[in-house]
Amino acid sequence: MDRQTAIRSTPLRDLLPVRSLNDLDWFVKESEIITGNPGREFVVAGSDQPTFRIHLDHVGYQIARVDRGEQAAAPVCATAPELVHHALGDALARGQLFTTALQ
């Protein structure tokens, strides 16, 4: 059974759109600076609303799907050019990637 994350229960109208790679980088860095924790959660708008935790490192993006509980796959590393081949990059290009505002 999927683990329910807070971002998935947030109404879409209350989420912040991620419109570019610059936005994605900014949101991740903002969260890491403010919370002191690595990464930030993002959700893809759609029927199943996959949720990912993204962390930036010296290689690129560390992407882990977090809504599958014990069935979650190991994190995937992707550079910015490789991101277009990931579901996350597709969602970004389609305007379907969102995150929550920090409190």
Would you state the pLDDT for residue 72? 61
Would you state the pLDDT for residue 47? 75
Write the DSSP symbol of residue 73.
P
Assigned token pair, 24: 């994605």
Would you state the pLDDT for residue 2? 39
Would you state the pLDDT for residue 1? 34
The answer to whether the beta carbons of residues 31 and 102 sit under 8 Å apart is yes
Would you state the pLDDT for residue 38? 92
Question: What's the CA gap between 44 and 87, in Å, rounded?
Answer: 9
Reading the chain (103 residues) residue by residue, the pLDDT tens digits are: 334 467 777 777 889 999 999 999 999 999 999 999 999 999 999 878 899 999 998 889 999 998 876 656 678 899 888 988 888 999 999 999 999 998 7
